[in-house]
Amino acid sequence: MNAFNRLKTYLDSQVLGQPALTEGILLALLANGHLLVEGPPGLAKTRAVNALAHGVEGSFHRIQFTPDLLPADLTGTDIYRPETGKFEFQSGPLFHHIILADEINRAPAKVQSALLEAMAEKQITVGRQSYKLPELFLVMATQNPLEQEGTYPLPEAQLDRFLLHLKVDYPDAATELAILKLTRGEALEQAAEQPERMTQADIFAARKAILQLHFAPSLEQYVVQLIMATRKAANYSPQLARWIAYGASPRATIALERCARAKAWLAGRDFVTPDDVQGVFHNVVRHRLLLTYEAEAEGISTDAVLDEILRLVPVA
């Protein structure tokens, strides 16, 4: 626990004004999932995952997604060695522990599908051979909501593979001033002291610890009912039924329970509360809902629909 507290303090010192982003990174690390971050350029998304790489034992690689990227640019490929007369596998950047997939929606579908296998199965396939990825494997993907020209929207199947979908926005004036001072200090080589790197053994032990937290049966029912409300919205409200075209999958139920556990563990508790579930609900479910054309025409956002579900579903 102390190691995670030190890591959170370090992340907050390096990524100012984005507490939801730093918490989301830790939740993904604890819950063994992947993170999709959406926000305008310049909001420290790349800086956040760089800071994580400095605080955690393991290798880090940044992949800039572009329209001309090929699947082999991620996975690696078989290289022919004339001296031996054999093909030898040359691993790609996915074989690192922490991956930053920058502007993921700028890559074509076949590249996205290569990343999908890595995220879902923790392995990649080249030809007839499959290769296991490291046990610690975290993908943080970013996408820019402002520019849509030349982009390839992520298919629902891939979106569902992300544990969390975070939205980040511009900081306030006071935070902006603090950012200015931080970057000036770094330019003068007065960078913050880096923490002792957290070992992978610490991370795996923490992942086991969160599964030992007390999760009341009534709270499990609450989690299930929240997800069921996205699928059978008519049981709760005719208006909700008009807004939701497709609800969340069972992966959402698993992710909601796991992230609520991680949030409670980070708060130093050995039990999970409804507040923990509600605190991660939007980030877990946001990218798993498909709204109707009617909802979009009325200007109803996914977050507004999720707010309505929290209002309608009683706490068990």
Residues 244-267 have pLDDT tens digits of 999 999 999 999 999 999 999 999
Query: Is the separation of the CB atoms in 216 and 264 below 8 Å?
Result: no
Rounded distance between C-alpha atoms, residue 201 and residue 245, angstroms: 42
> What's the pLDDT score for residue 186?
66
In the chain, % of residues over pLDDT 90: 51
- Going from N- to C-terminal start, the domains of the chain cover 2-187, 211-312
* Same fold across 2-187 and 211-312: no
CA-closest candidate to residue 198, choices 2, 35, 24 = 2
Question: Which is it for strands 35-38 and 164-167: parallel, antiparallel or unpaired?
Answer: parallel
> How many Cα atoms within 13 Å fall on the side-chain side of residue 145?
11
Rounded distance between C-alpha atoms, residue 147 and residue 151, angstroms: 8
Query: Is the separation of the CB atoms in 283 and 166 below 8 Å?
Result: yes
> What's the pLDDT score for residue 89?
84
SS3 84: coil
Question: pLDDT higher for 278 or 170?
Answer: 278
Write down the CATH superfamily of domain 211-312.
Magnesium chelatase subunit I, C-Terminal domain (1.10.8.80)
Q: What is the pLDDT of residues 71-89, one digit of tens each?
A: 889 988 888 888 888 888 8
> What's the pLDDT score for residue 1?
64
Kindly report the CATH class assigned to 2-187. Answer: alpha beta
Q: What is the pLDDT of residues 217-241, one digit of tens each?
A: 999 999 999 999 999 999 999 999 9
Q: Please tell me the least confidently modeled range out of 43-52, 54-63, 183-192, 305-314.
A: 183-192
Rounded distance between C-alpha atoms, residue 247 and residue 94, angstroms: 31
Longest dimension (CA), the chain: 70
| 207: pLDDT strictly greater than 80 | yes
Q: Give the distance from CA 242 to its chain's centroid.
A: 29
Q: What is the mean pLDDT of residues 191-216?
A: 86
Query: Is the separation of the CB atoms in 72 and 179 below 8 Å?
Result: no
Q: What is the mean pLDDT of residues 3-7?
A: 85
